[in-house]
Structure 1
Amino acid sequence: MSAGYFIAGTDTDVGKTTIAAGLLHAARLSGLSTLAGKPVASGCEVTVDGLRNSDALALMAQSSIVLPYEQINPLAFEPAIAPHLAARETGVVLSVDRLLAPMQALLAKQADFTLIEGAGGWRVPLSGRASLSDLAIALGLPVILVVGVRLGCINHALLSAEAIARDGLPLAGWVANVIDGKTSRLEENLATLAECLPAPCLGRVPRMKVPSAEAVAAHLQIDLMEG
């Protein structure tokens, strides 16, 4: 039985890829086949094989189904700026339709556990009034929310969860990724998140100097996911 999820973050740089890689690793340890997609990525490196994104490569490393890079990350941009700005600078029209078919093709591979990772927060613009959340809606996937635990995270998490619910998608679970280990009243903040977010906490990942997928997976429980 295959299952797919959309990975969203409460903001940029909250560790979506770190958590996604950990979830994929945990799924593999459970004997599940895995696959992941990064529909659009900016901040890519120029290589002899073309533009490559470190997040997409990290997802590929934890995918048991091997596919060409271009199928995993169909739109890659070199400037390390918002994807819609990077696309505009390179003359590319960034639309839901352009991203939908490649991600549907990944889901059609029917891996036991498939993740589609967004960029930035829930309302990252594409073009016009469209945003990356519209891709998640078009795919109809349950959402896993990565909460970057630092000052202000409760507000960001609750607003993101409200937007996801308003868009008609189920919140399958959330992960507390502690990106500021010195966050004041850390335990109280985590307790408030657990009380207020309408989905199970899949794990609490402490701040790590080198957050490998294996180390992150040890803090996650994928069997708690809903949807």
Structure 2
Amino acid sequence: MSAYFVTGTDTEIGKTTIACALLYKARSLGLSTAAAKPVASGCTLTEQGLRNDDALALLGECSMPLSYAEVNPVAFAPAIAPHLAAREAGVALTVEALLGPVRHVLARGADFTVVEGAGGWRVPLAGRETLADLAIALDLPVILVVGVRLGCINHAMLSAEAIARDGLRLAGWVANVVDPATSRLEENLQTLAQCLAAPCLGRVPFLVGPTPGSVASYLGLPTVDWQ
């Protein structure tokens, strides 16, 4: 069994796209899969309740029989920072509140599980807590999705430094090209490889209408003992 916390250098940099592709890759290798997105904002009200597109995408790549509520236990309608949405809804968004549901998914024992954060590494929860504190409490290795565009090297290095300072292992990173017009793209990718002391799990070019399968063809899984 192997589980990873997926974070990003920013919001809207393809974190869910990469997480789903990793799950797809794992399933293609015959591994069972599970996922959790502990908190999501920007949800749509349906007959079944609030639903988040990212969480639904993750659920679609799970081979384990999980309900939506198991994958995404805390959902908010406003497309704003989770701690602000929680404050408006009168919900105590604490690490302790999120730990139980995520541990429940991890306890299902899938071969490959991803826990996807929201935004970047230091997204606030309640008080001084952040989503990084959840990853620390879970003691999961981290996969960093780098949204490749102007400024990404600084964001990637700062994120990697924060992850290391928090005592967690950076198991790998993914270069996801979100701006096809990025100047000196190859040089930037080479610099990222030099600056990040972790394996690059893949370089994903800018894709129109990416699917888990199309993105997975550019990715590898972190090297672990699957036995």
What is the TM-score of this pair, normalised by structure 2? Answer: 0.98
User: Offset at 1:66?
Assistant: 1.7
Q: Distance in 2 between matches of 1:221 and 1:208?
A: 18
The offset of 1:221, in angstroms, is 0.9
Cα distance in 1 for residues equivalent to 2:80 and 2:130: 16
Aligned length: 225
Contact 2:172 2:222 survives alignment (8 Å): no
| Structure-1 separation of matches of 2:115 and 2:73 | 12
1:65 equivalent in structure 2? 64
Q: Mark the CA change 1:18 to 1:47 in structure 2 (over 3 Å): closer, same or farther.
A: same
Which ranges of structure 1 fall in alignment gaps of 5 or more residues?
Answer: none
Which residue of the partner structure matches residue 25 of structure 1? 24
Q: TM-score, normalised by structure 1?
A: 0.98
Q: Equivalent residues in 2 for 1:155-174 (5 A)? A: 155-174=154-173
Deviation at 1:5, TM superposition (A): 0.2
**Equivalents in 1 of 2:151, 2:223: separation in Å?**
26
Separation of aligned partners in 2, 1:56 and 1:150? 25
Output the CA distance in 1 between the equivalents of 2:200 and 2:181: 21
Say which SS state the counterpart of residue 62 (structure 2) adopts.
Answer: coil
Distance 1:68 1:39 in 2: 13
Runs of at least 4 residues off by over 6 Å: none
Q: How much has 1:223 moved relative to structure 2? A: 4.7
1:123-202 aligned within 5 A: 123-202=122-201
Aligned partners of 1:41 and 1:83 also within 8 Å:
yes
Residue 224 of structure 1 and its aligned partner are, at CA, apart by: 4.1
RMSD: 1.0
The residue identity in structure 2 corresponding to 1:121 is G
Shift of 1:67: 1.2
Corresponding residue for residue 220 of structure 1: 219
SS for the counterpart of 1:5 is strand
Question: In the TM superposition, what is the alpha-carbon distance from 1:68 to its structure 2 partner?
Answer: 1.2
Query: What does 1:48-127 correspond to in 2, within 5 Å?
Result: 48-127=47-126
Amino acid at match of 1:128: G
Matched to 2:6, the amino acid is: I
Structure 2 residue ranges without an equivalent (≥5): none
Percent of aligned pairs with the same amino acid: 67
